[in-house]
A and B are shown apart, each in its own frame.
Chain A
Amino acid sequence: MIVSTQKPFEEILAALEGGSRVFIIGCAKCATVCKAGGEEEVFRMQEALTAAAKEVTGTMVIDETCHMPRTARDLRSRRDQVDEADFLLVLSCGAGIQSVAEASGKKVVAGTDSRFLGNIRRFGQFEQRCSLCGDCRLNDSGGVCPVTVCAKGLLNGPCGGMEDGACEVDRNNRCAWVTIYERLERQGRVGGLDAITQARDFAHKRHPKSLTLEK
């Protein structure tokens, strides 16, 4: 899922400068799970904005704001409240915010920062394991992604900053390469680490990307 966090309220208020009427949009998927833009957060935002002397013309939580036709359809269903607003405040990931901007053509305010593609460790705790590099190396690294879990994204083993198995960048994290080594050792295949992993193909990181499935 896409992990996002709400921007500080003062920053949101500053972005709403010059308009008093706001329509608030949340997302029922990722932003709900990470508590950045679900029903509850949308309601709290409405209260906070009202207390800050803004008029909230309406609110809605769209089921997947990244789904562009659905977002357009849902916004049409509330056209009066949307049209009445000076700003649409969106509490979803950056993809959803842009769906809203495109579908409405109105001034959109991003109320969140999109942080990472996250695994859910437990309720309210998320960890980045995949960075969508487009060139998956998990088959060679014991199912641990060196591009993501190694803070430097190193492909061929630990850096000189590893100490007692801890990562140089954050001593609270285990070095990805120590984890990879230990896992492959348990599986009897550390020999797989002898071959040099060649440089990444950063052409996979060019953007904007798109994909159209063949019919």
Chain B
Amino acid sequence: MPSLLAQSLSANKFVITAEVAPPKGGDPSALLRSAADVAPCVDAVNVTDNQGANMRMTPLVAAGLLVAEGIEPILQLTCRDRNRLALQSDLLGAAALGIHNILALTGDDIGCGDHPHGMAVFDLDSVLLLQAVSALNRGVDMNGAPLAGATHFFVGAAAAPEVEPFASTRPKLAKKATAGARFFQTQAVFDPRRLAMFCDTVRPLDVKVIAGILVIKSARMAEFINRNIPGLKVPQTVIERLRGANDPAAEGVRIAAELAGQCRTICDGVHIMSMGRDEVVPEIVAAVRN
């Protein structure tokens, strides 16, 4: 498998990933700067797909630009904006661009973004998208028609270790594994015990777990996240710690670094969500690696 991320995970290396958001515009220079800042210290860089349903440059092209810079991207692909033809054809395009990692996602509600009157597609869901990627890897499309050559994607899915009621999400996690997910990149985790329980639960699935680490700047930002970002819930203890700190931004980095360090003994890697603060990624990585 050409994916370096896959190679590291199968060698039981603790991996670190970060993420960049494609620009709202045709100029990729800010994206490339951001990627260049974080890439040297991580194993791969996620490229988000119209995140929060806000229209931006297609992650397919953004990820292709990263490949050209020698950076290994994880292309996030959501089912919200594309039907089954578009998803598969983008995946074939990704293969042609040398993109090896895919994160198959459902996608946030279109109503929360900047085109709330658009049509949300959801022709496939994340499980069916994973299945489609697996089909392409076998050299056929999702209807079984042969391709001119198979793809070689290393494909992952999302998971939410701290969601309640967790039991209701378990069948879908198992289906994601069956459909071909080789790694989970999780929603932000805050409680290492919950993460450990999650890892125990999914261990039979034989899927690597990369825990989401959210870097929060202030108590206000945490409260904003809790109000506005689906699936993210910053616990009150973290909010209080940020509120009581002299330098909340630095405290947020410390919280993230502590948690990321604890993950080393629990799961297979961490995914740092720095919310646009690329400069803090090396600091957190250093704390994990030491």
In whole angstroms, how far apart are the Cα atoms of A163 and B234 in the complex? 12
User: Which stretch (A99-107, A116-124, A192-200) binds chain B?
Assistant: A192-200
Residue pair A169, B231 in contact (C-beta under 8 Å): no
A162's nearest neighbour on chain B, judged by CB, is B163
Indicate if B74 sits at the interface (CB-CB under 8 A).
no
In whole angstroms, how far apart are the Cα atoms of A182 and B169 in the complex? 11
B111's nearest neighbour on chain A, judged by CB, is A169
User: Which stretch (A2-10, A45-53, A84-92, A153-161) binds chain B?
Assistant: A153-161
In whole angstroms, how far apart are the Cα atoms of A75 and B174 in the complex? 60
Residue pair B164, A164 in contact (C-beta under 8 Å): yes
Report the minimal beta-carbon distance from B127 to chain A, rounded to whole angstroms: 4
Residue pair A160, B231 in contact (C-beta under 8 Å): yes
* A: number of interface residues (CB 8 Å): 31
Report the minimal beta-carbon distance from B284 to chain A, rounded to whole angstroms: 23
- Contact A156-B109, Cβ < 8 Å, known A162-B169, A164-B164, A182-B168: no
Selected contact of A157 from candidates B80, B105, B175, B187, CB within 8 Å: B175
- Contact A152-B171, Cβ < 8 Å, known A161-B230, A163-B163: no
Q: Which residues from chain A contact B178 at a C-beta distance below 8 Å?
A: 196
B84's nearest neighbour on chain A, judged by CB, is A199
Residue pair A157, B171 in contact (C-beta under 8 Å): yes
* B: number of interface residues (CB 8 Å): 35
A157's nearest neighbour on chain B, judged by CB, is B172
Indicate if B200 sits at the interface (CB-CB under 8 A).
no
Indicate if B260 sits at the interface (CB-CB under 8 A).
no
Q: Which residues from chain A contact B123 at a C-beta distance below 8 Å?
A: 199-200, 202
* B75-119 contacts to A (CB < 8 Å): 80, 84, 105-106, 108-109, 111
Selected contact of A163 from candidates B106, B111, B158, B233, CB within 8 Å: B233
Residue pair B127, A196 in contact (C-beta under 8 Å): yes
Q: Which residues from chain B contact A154 at a C-beta distance below 8 Å?
A: 106, 122, 125
Q: Which residues from chain B contact A156 at a C-beta distance below 8 Å?
A: 125-128, 172, 175
Q: Which residues from chain A contact B80 at a C-beta distance below 8 Å?
A: 152
Report the minimal beta-carbon distance from B129 to chain A, rounded to whole angstroms: 10
Tell which of A157, A159, A194, A199 has the most Cβ of chain B within 10 Å: A159
* B173-190 contacts to A (CB < 8 Å): 174-175, 178-179, 187
Indicate if A177 sits at the interface (CB-CB under 8 A).
yes
In whole angstroms, how far apart are the Cα atoms of A164 and B232 in the complex? 11
Report the minimal beta-carbon distance from B138 to chain A, rounded to whole angstroms: 16
Indicate if A60 sits at the interface (CB-CB under 8 A).
no
Indicate if B160 sits at the interface (CB-CB under 8 A).
yes
Selected contact of B231 from candidates A165, A168, A185, A193, CB within 8 Å: A168
Indicate if A178 sits at the interface (CB-CB under 8 A).
yes
B169's nearest neighbour on chain A, judged by CB, is A158
Indicate if B40 sits at the interface (CB-CB under 8 A).
no
Indicate if B124 sits at the interface (CB-CB under 8 A).
yes
In whole angstroms, how far apart are the Cα atoms of A19 and B168 in the complex? 59
Selected contact of B165 from candidates A165, A196, A200, CB within 8 Å: A165
Q: A153-B122, A154-B122, A199-B142 are in contact. List 18 more A-B contacts (CB 8 A).
A: A151-B109, A152-B122, A157-B175, A159-B125, A165-B164, A165-B165, A169-B109, A182-B168, A190-B171, A193-B171, A194-B175, A196-B131, A196-B175, A196-B178, A196-B179, A198-B128, A199-B124, A200-B123
A-B contact pairs, 26 of them (CB 8 A): A151-B109, A154-B122, A156-B125, A156-B127, A157-B127, A157-B169, A157-B175, A158-B168, A160-B158, A161-B231, A162-B168, A162-B231, A163-B163, A165-B165, A169-B111, A181-B165, A181-B167, A181-B171, A185-B167, A193-B171, A194-B171, A196-B127, A196-B131, A196-B175, A198-B128, A199-B124
The 6 closest A-B pairs by CB, nearest first: A157-B172, A161-B230, A193-B171, A181-B168, A156-B127, A168-B230
